[in-house]
Amino acid sequence: MHYGDTPLQAAVKYGCINIVQFVLENTYIDPNEENQDGDTLLHSAVKGRHLDIVQLLLENPGIDPSEVNKFGNSLLHCAAIDGHPDIFQLLLQKTDIINLNKVNKNGDTVLDISIRRDDHKLVELLLERSERDGNNSKEGELRSIEDIPHNELDAFLSEFYITLKKENGQEYEPGTFDGIRASIERYLKEKEYSHSLRDKEFNLSTRALSAKKVQLKKLGKGHKPNASKAVSKDEEDLLWEQGQLGDGTPRILIFSLWYYFTKCFGLRGRNEHRQLQLGDILMKKDPVDNRQYLEFSERLTKTRDGTKGKENRKVKPRMYENKSDRCPIRLFKAYLLRRPENVMEPESPFYLTCIPMERVESMIWYYARPMGENTLANLMPMAAKEAGMDRKTNHSVRKTTIKTLRKAGVPRDKIKHIYLSTKVQVRLRLTMMISPIMMKGNIQMY
């Protein structure tokens, strides 16, 4: 059961429809009750992909489908993030109550998320309803977009591009419009429309799109700095909320461990993660309070400097277990269970290549070979994209660590040694300070 869930919330999450139906029919429990994340029963049903429970709850007269959670996500936001077309279509039937143009705390509409995830099916459903955004249809227009002649559609899209804004009145980024046109193009192609949006028959809308992007750039949109930005506490919470941290899939599980190791153990760059071996991460028990913890104990090999015993650190960074779903010990144990038996030696690579979820046929989630460098380098960008966040890089997590260390009063010269020293011995002695500081602010201690 998720930490902070009520028994009814747990029944919804695990798809126990008979229990849910019995409780709702025979008790006076508020059907709109929330857990610690602000999720109602409907939110939990949508995120759990339980179509039958979603249908059951929507039939309950006491249910309010317009509720949002603490991240500002409506039911449609959650359905778009999870990518469940049947639930999404069911919720679209409630658009008289659910606002399609609602923005969450990240400033995203349902359309933003669907386009960012490149989810053709959900974009198609939104297009078919012709209510994707308040500005995307002329008053009285009831035809499906594929039934509109190209000359009318060209004028229609021109007005759409020029007037489109978020519900809160803010402008989209220029790149969003390219994604919108690409999604419309794919939809029309699937419907065997007679023209492409890039044909000369759509010159008016093409010019309108270009003009809109120029206007937005003059307003300062689209000028995103190349420098990586640190991951804020709210953004980390968002990664958990959107299921990008946790143990839901092979990629998410391995990314979660990568995130903790980068943040709490101070591992840097793709090379250090690439060289990480299973035996470098030890699971131990504290004799004082009997709690389990993970310890980073980089073992010496022929490729690692550290021949002088006196230079080895006496205290190693640790991450302790806790009672929440975010417990690093729980994630580490889950990862061990999913690894093949022939890569369980101390010298085995820590990060393994993920088996695509659709090909998983057993408890084993990973191939017995190291994760590729490019995949390892793209873990944070992929998670940020899937969560609907602004662009993040692997370096963003290092910046998070540095920012937290500075707030904790760690001298700049020591932080510099942690991240810039090429001598393993120096970094081994100094990174011991990272784990307690990072854990204090991000992992509850019990």
Which of 109-118, 130-139, 218-227, 331-340 shows the lowest per-residue confidence on average (mean pLDDT)? 130-139
The full length of the chain comes to 446
Average pLDDT of span 110-138? 61
CATH of domain 233-442: 1.10.443.10
Q: Is residue 90 within 8 Å of residue 51, measured between CB atoms? A: yes
Task: Flag whether pLDDT at 336 surpasses 90.
Answer: yes
- Of all residues in the chain, the percent with pLDDT exceeding 90 is 19
More confident residue, 410 or 238: 238
Tell me the angle at which helices 379-386 and 250-264 cross, rounded to the nearest 10 degrees.
120
Average pLDDT of span 358-363? 89
Domain ranges of the chain: 1-99, 102-223, 233-442
- Of all residues in the chain, the percent with pLDDT exceeding 70 is 74
Q: Is residue 320 within 8 Å of residue 293, measured between CB atoms? A: yes
Average pLDDT of span 100-125? 73
Residue with tokens 């660590």: 401
* Token code pair at residue 32: 């709109």
Which pLDDT score is estimated for 422?
Answer: 39
245/259 Cα distance (integer angstroms): 9
240/248 Cα distance (integer angstroms): 11
344/279 Cα distance (integer angstroms): 9
Under the banding of pLDDT at 50, 70 and 90, the label for residue 3 is: low
Residue range 396-438, pLDDT digits in tens: 777 766 666 666 565 666 555 544 443 444 344 444 444 444 4
Q: What CATH class is the domain 1-99?
A: mainly alpha
DSSP annotation of 349 reads: B
